[in-house]
Structure 1
Amino acid sequence: MSGFATVYGRRRGIAAINQSFGGKEMEQVAGIDLYAAIADREGATPASMALDKFIERLRAVTAGKDRLTGALNDLGARLFREKAYPLAHHCYEQASRHPQAIGARANLGRCEIRLGRPERARAIAASLTGQHPDEVAGWVLLGEASIVLERFAEAVAAYERAAQLKPDQPGVLTQLGLAHTLDNNAEAACTTCERGLALNPDDVDCLHLLTINKRRICDWRDLDELSTRLKAAVANGLDTVWPINFISEGPTAAEELNCSRLQARRAHAATAGRQEPWQPFKAAGDGKLRVGFVGYGFGAHPTAILTSAVFEALKDSPIEAHLFALSDEALTQQRQRLMEAAHRFHPVAGMSSLEVARRVREEGVEILVDMDGFSRGARPEIFAHRAAPVQILWLGYPGTSGADFIDYVVADPYVLPASMRKHFSEQPLYLPRFYMSTDPTRVVPAPPSRSACGLPDDHVVYVCFNATYKLNQRSMERMFRVLHGVPKSVLWLQASGRVAERLQHAALDAGIAPERLVFMDKLPHEIYLARYRLADLFLDTEYYNAHTTATDALWAGCPVLTRPGDTFATRVAGSLNHHLGMPEMNVDSDEAFVAAAIRYGLDAELRKATRAKLMHLRTRSSVFDSNGFARDLINLLQKVSAHHRRGGRPAQFRTG
């Protein structure tokens, strides 16, 4: 799904459910205000009441009255806005008893979604669409429920039908654009969102979807203007922009912190009123430090590739590693490896955030590590429940959580220098090495010939296998300048279809023959790794560096040229080079980047010497030393635990 988070789609689908769609409610009693009538003399509002007391008050207020369908629906809508979902559910349930109360039944389904029962919502939607196929409310509910259930193709079909019924309804088009995004159809998402934004230029959610999808398909038309508007919307408090998408807009560290804080507040709001009275933590009597790792990527995912060897090294250590897997997927070889490495592997994909938090507490976990942050499949609500007494952000999200429920962030002094610490809500835990773990057991097989991959044998091969949303105009224009400076060179990219065509057109506009861009489809990991042995130099991107991709290139023996910036995401590749012992591959400007890449392309001896140095260092530096990483991580976590058990606060902890 590229950089677009599954969880963002789930949350965005729910965020839109308070819309009111037509229906045929009966006329309500004139002038009645149920909300005010239910409030008691002590000033307690309906939203603050327990469900049984609320039902009692509602019965007393409505006794002897009829034609209340509309009034009950309105009361439910207000309670829904105030996040009193059980109370709103009761109101909608009462209102939906009338056979023509289509809107109330749809709203009841939306409540079911918020109460964690999307299958019930889907059943209500199926009933509505079957009985009233020409009413938009049932189709919209079906789309929302399908998104939560991650049945994205079904969501697309439902919203397409809703858009046919209401072609002038921009909100429906925004939801259809979301469904296309989650269904991995960025082209259709852009077309849909352009229609929606034309109908309502102020729809910031539609603006967000259009911006990120245009990046995915490398359509740079009007993108600078869209990006500027999106950043302004976030600055003004738009809280539906998922932070990992925001990175691609080139924000400052302060802007990233603001975006993350907005999402952290959403997570807080989602858990409001449902906080558990956790018992005080008691250390295990066996002397083991129980550490939980929560992640979506414990399967066929970069997280698994990066961490498997480290979890194996923790197996017989003082750390008892519990892996809480948020993804529900087939048993792959990678997932099996993690299951065998963990002290205990917990498949928790079908659980609510509160249920996961309870499981963490039941296991006696003292330190809980968020492996996702705001990346794909993230569940920050688990951490908002304060699932463990100490909570740490590591690996998956290259930035700050902006959350007061995350205490620490694992980093290194290069990727998170002192000048950036004021833009992080967490206390940094500095490792004396590159902050990402890697897997030195990966096999890099012999590659096929260059010609078999569509590459010329006698040309310099520059490569950038970064995801397409990272291939922004600035980065590509910089690469085109390099191709100008090295006539016998090509650029190897991972793209296909219309995206490849757009990049070829961009090359042509820059005076580069389109055939000098060579494209590769996604390949199985080992086969993909082998391709780096055919490349001479990896050219990094701006705003969002190569991260896991950079470790892949270096492990396979391909040097990486990068320009470290002023945010975490722009310094990861630079930190890799720094800790690898190749700081000369880090430059400080676009001009220096182009000059270094051209010099490298024109000097065969430099290419040979650089590759030889990399092959020497990759097995000797700390970057690809998983056992050493495990030792440093154990030491760090033990210090954090000791500090916590002494009653110390995160702000008092120092590692550098």
Structure 2
Amino acid sequence: MSHASSERAQLRAAVTRQPADFIAWVMLADAELGAGDIQAGEHAAQRALRLRPDHPEALARLGRVRWMQHQHQQAAELLQRACQLAPHHPGMALWLGHVLEDANQPEAAAEAYRRAHALAPDEPYMAAQLLNWQRRLCDWRNLDALSRQVRDAVAHGNPAVEPFAFLSEDASPAEQLACARQRAQVLAQSVPRLPPRPLRSHGPLQVGFLSNGFGAHPTGLLTVALFEQLRRQPQLQVQLFALNADDGSPIRRRLQAAAHVLHVLAGQPHAAIAQQIRAAGIDILFDLRGWGGGGTPEVLAMRPAPLQVNWLAYPGSSGAPWIDYLLADGFVVPHAAEAGFSEKVLRLPRAFQPSDNTRKVESAPTRAECGLPAQGVVLCCFNNSYKLNPRSVARLLQVLAGVPGSVLWLLSGPGQADQRLRQVARQQGLDPERLVFMPKLPHPQYLARYRHADLFLDTHPYNAHTTASDALWAGCPVLTTPGQTFAARVAGSLNHHLGLDAMNVADDATFVATAIALGNDPDALQAVRGQLAIAREQSGLFDMAAFAEDFTALLHGLARGHGWRGDDAG
């Protein structure tokens, strides 16, 4: 039994013996929620609240329950009340920040994180949460100091920093690995492991994919056409384990039809999810979330499958002893970079990222309807706002200044992010109206807008990933500066596998010079777009039937190395 399981058992015994023990009920609520058991956590929080009505610790736990149940407004009200009653409690301010994020109150969330950090200024977890949210809001106050605090914490072995958020820092692969390893070590001590199960020796491989993105989400958009092709592979059976409920989207319906089985696991405790994966007889389990938000590394840590693989959604090393392999390609993880990964690196002979090659690029609204001027080059960057750091924005604005009459088309960010970026442009002597913001739209509508975009300008150190695939599929060239980390090499991998290595440039100065040259030379820009149009059809990057063949061959080779013989022993 793990430490966490033992603690839960002891707390359950304690409240049975002493049902009036308020502190034990609060601690039990924490333990149950930490195990993903929302129902048991709610029961414990409600019992604590009955013992001491309006007590901030009990209110905070019930608020956390409502947050996990996606009842964001109720959660916000409970946490706000708790913070009023305990104004000097940094943990409650932190939870309030999480809840306000999801309640679509981004600026209020930032204030909550700022308060948590002010109450515990030496606590790296608070600094990391504030840093991550300020990046999302393009609020660059004290950014360098916060980043230094977070990187120093990782350097000193502090496990408080979230690995996904750390990908946005200008850190080395070794720092990213250290960050992930530190989180994994803490988790490994608190999660029970299932008894080992060997890989089957013959018959079709049972291949599982665990994600909270099986729907209208980047993961669903990238994988759905591949799963449709894998359905035709007789030696593979695909099972999808959805941590998210059915969102009613066409992508979800396609995923349901493509999989041999789609298991809906939303809201279930971690141990129950792991048991279902084990009961399904999965041989190779792909983690399609990793350290990203909404994932369940606890499930993977229980080892429900003999072989476990990090792929696609978390662009870096898991640092986790329960992940055996990382699926990559020779560009995103060159052989010389393997020291930055805890996993053994598997490489496809193509770009590691699949995509939906059935998606249609519809006709776009007029330029005027998109907020674009009638004339002029449209430079775009539809990356999430947290990737728009000072370095990336500086080079975007340099390009804007160097291409007269151009506009920079960006994805609208949360809160006051757009206004802050316009203020930066104003400070650089640029008309802030040359920044045009596109609201978040359903994927087909967003994809159609690329018809008005002339050139996509990437960010660093966290590239465009799904967004780069969308741009290239829609015929918009992507200019990028591949870096040292996985997250900084994804757009470069797509360009490389298209044969467009000229769009992968060495540094910021070359990035700016290349973009300005293309922006001021319509013939040169049209030539690049022409090369992309040909490469899209001929390179194989978007050939999902061939991807499925390569993917299947790689899995067969992996399984044979672990004793599987396919139909030979059947």
- 1:521 aligned to 2:444? no
What is the Cα-based RMSD across aligned positions, in Å? 2.0
Q: Which amino acid aligns with 2:7?
A: A
Counterpart residue number, 1:84: 7
Counterpart residue number, 1:149: 69
Q: Which runs of 4+ in 1 moved over 6 A?
A: none
Aligned-partner Cα distance in 2 for 1:397–1:490: 32
Aligned-partner Cα distance in 1 for 2:460–2:63: 36
Aligned-partner Cα distance in 1 for 2:155–2:561: 36
Counterpart residue number, 1:217: 137
Aligned-partner Cα distance in 2 for 1:634–1:134: 57
Could you say what secondary structure the match of 1:368 adopts? strand
- Shift of the 290–199 alpha-carbon distance from structure 1 to 2, 3 Å rule, reads closer
User: After superposition, what is the alpha-carbon deviation per residue over 1:274-329, rounded to whole angstroms, capped at 9, x for unaligned?
Assistant: 32324444334xx3122111111111111111111111111121211111111123
- Shift of the 306–646 alpha-carbon distance from structure 1 to 2, 3 Å rule, reads closer
Aligned-partner Cα distance in 1 for 2:526–2:33: 59
Contact 2:216 2:247 in 1 (8 A): no
- Shift of the 169–371 alpha-carbon distance from structure 1 to 2, 3 Å rule, reads closer
User: How far does residue 262 in structure 1 lie from its aligned partner after superposition?
Assistant: 1.7
Could you say what secondary structure the match of 1:526 adopts? helix
Counterpart residue number, 2:495: 577
Counterpart residue number, 1:441: 358
Could you say what secondary structure the match of 1:303 adopts? helix
- 1:539 aligned to 2:462? no
Aligned-partner Cα distance in 1 for 2:168–2:91: 25
- 1:191 aligned to 2:108? no
Q: Which amino acid aligns with 1:422?
A: A
Counterpart residue number, 1:303: 219
Counterpart residue number, 2:563: 645
Q: Which amino acid aligns with 2:399?
A: V
Contact 2:286 2:311 in 1 (8 A): yes
Counterpart residue number, 2:128: 208
Could you say what secondary structure the match of 1:430 adopts? strand
Q: Which amino acid aligns with 1:244?
A: F
Aligned-partner Cα distance in 1 for 2:44–2:153: 35
Aligned-partner Cα distance in 2 for 1:115–1:471: 35
Q: Which amino acid aligns with 2:216?
A: A
- 1:328 aligned to 2:274? no
Aligned-partner Cα distance in 2 for 1:477–1:319: 48
Task: Identify the range of structure 1 (141-150 vs 556-565) with the bigger mean alpha-carbon deviation.
Answer: 141-150
User: How far does residue 635 in structure 1 lie from its aligned partner after superposition?
Assistant: 0.5
- Shift of the 371–111 alpha-carbon distance from structure 1 to 2, 3 Å rule, reads closer
- 1:503 aligned to 2:426? no
- Shift of the 594–432 alpha-carbon distance from structure 1 to 2, 3 Å rule, reads same
The equivalent position to 2:337 in structure 1, one of 420, 428, 433, is: 420
Counterpart residue number, 2:519: 601
The equivalent position to 2:367 in structure 1, one of 425, 447, 450, is: 450
- Identity among equivalent positions (%) equals 43
Counterpart residue number, 2:346: 429
Aligned-partner Cα distance in 2 for 1:408–1:607: 40
- Shift of the 204–180 alpha-carbon distance from structure 1 to 2, 3 Å rule, reads farther
Q: Trace 1:313-324 onto structure 2 (pairs within 5 A).
A: 313-317=229-233, 318-324=235-241
User: How far does residue 376 in structure 1 lie from its aligned partner after superposition?
Assistant: 2.9
Counterpart residue number, 2:228: 312
Aligned-partner Cα distance in 2 for 1:192–1:217: 14
User: After superposition, what is the alpha-carbon deviation per residue over 1:64-100, rounded to whole angstroms, capped at 9, x for unaligned?
Assistant: xxxxxxxxxxxxxxx97x9522013322443343xxx
Q: Which amino acid aligns with 2:536?
A: R
Counterpart residue number, 1:247: 167
The equivalent position to 2:314 in structure 1, one of 383, 397, 412, is: 397
Contact 1:322 1:345 in 2 (8 A): yes
User: How far does residue 237 in structure 1 lie from its aligned partner after superposition?
Assistant: 2.7
User: How far does residue 610 in structure 1 lie from its aligned partner after superposition?
Assistant: 1.0
Contact 2:283 2:306 in 1 (8 A): yes
Aligned-partner Cα distance in 1 for 2:43–2:275: 29
- 1:588 aligned to 2:517? no
Aligned-partner Cα distance in 2 for 1:196–1:572: 34
Contact 2:22 2:51 in 1 (8 A): no
Task: Identify the range of structure 1 (531-540 vs 314-323) with the bigger mean alpha-carbon deviation.
Answer: 314-323
Q: Which amino acid aligns with 2:224?
A: S
In the superposition, the TM-score normalised over structure 2's length comes to 0.94
Higher-Rg structure is 1
Contact 2:37 2:268 in 1 (8 A): no
- 1:294 aligned to 2:217? no
Could you say what secondary structure the match of 2:167 adopts? helix
Q: Which amino acid aligns with 2:460?
A: E
User: How far does residue 128 in structure 1 lie from its aligned partner after superposition?
Assistant: 4.5
User: How far does residue 269 in structure 1 lie from its aligned partner after superposition?
Assistant: 2.2
- 1:162 aligned to 2:82? yes
- 1:351 aligned to 2:268? yes
User: How far does residue 432 in structure 1 lie from its aligned partner after superposition?
Assistant: 0.8
User: How far does residue 490 in structure 1 lie from its aligned partner after superposition?
Assistant: 0.7
User: How far does residue 224 in structure 1 lie from its aligned partner after superposition?
Assistant: 1.1
User: How far does residue 116 in structure 1 lie from its aligned partner after superposition?
Assistant: 4.7
Counterpart residue number, 2:92: 172
Contact 1:106 1:124 in 2 (8 A): yes
- Shift of the 279–638 alpha-carbon distance from structure 1 to 2, 3 Å rule, reads closer
Aligned-partner Cα distance in 2 for 1:476–1:573: 18
Contact 1:102 1:137 in 2 (8 A): no
Counterpart residue number, 1:4: none
- Shift of the 444–564 alpha-carbon distance from structure 1 to 2, 3 Å rule, reads same
Aligned-partner Cα distance in 2 for 1:376–1:116: 14
User: How far does residue 230 in structure 1 lie from its aligned partner after superposition?
Assistant: 1.0
